[in-house]
């Protein structure tokens, strides 16, 4: 595969991956896709008493397991391996969003603690 072919493939694959994310987000967030793209993980997290990132890790693990099975057998069963790769990419992007949200929460908490010191009142 030459560079031009690869660039075309890569662009098409990433566009399809992002489109898949947009489509699934509507379903998984139960209508909350504009307000909280992580709603599904937060909701399940609350129901199970585990962290949202732990919920994500379970979902991601399923796809990683399929990927490793494909490495060994070169066979797919329920869906093409390319779709699993798209899901993995999308879960990793959601993970980055969770990490960023956690940093923002942590920064806000740090600011609140700083603002509570007597010299800041």
DSSP labels for 45-90?
HHHHTS-HHHHHHHHHHHHHHHHHHHHHH---SSS-HHHHHHHHHH
- Please list, residue by residue across 105-120, b when 16 or more beta carbons sit within 10 angstroms of its beta carbon and e when fewer do: eeeeeeeeeeeeeeee
User: What pTM did the predictor assign?
Assistant: 0.87
Q: What is the mean pLDDT of residues 48-67?
A: 97
Percent of the chain with pLDDT over 70: 93
pLDDT exceeds 60 at position 121:
no
């Amino acid at each position: 595969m030459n560079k031009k072919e690869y660039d075309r493939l890569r662009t098409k694959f990433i566009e399809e991956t992002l489109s898949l994310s947009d489509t699934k987000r509507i379903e998984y967030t139960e209508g909350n896709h504009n307000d909280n793209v992580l709603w599904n993980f937060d909701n399940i997290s609350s129901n199970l008493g585990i962290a949202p990132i732990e919920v994500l890790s379970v979902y991601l693990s399923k796809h990683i397991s399929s990927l490793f099975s494909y490495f060994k057998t070169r066979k797919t069963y329920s869906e093409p391996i390319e779709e699993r790769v798209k899901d993995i990419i999308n879960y990793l992007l959601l993970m980055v969003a969770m990490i960023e949200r956690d940093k923002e929460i942590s920064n806000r908490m740090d600011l609140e603690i700083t603002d509570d010191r007597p010299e800041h009142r």
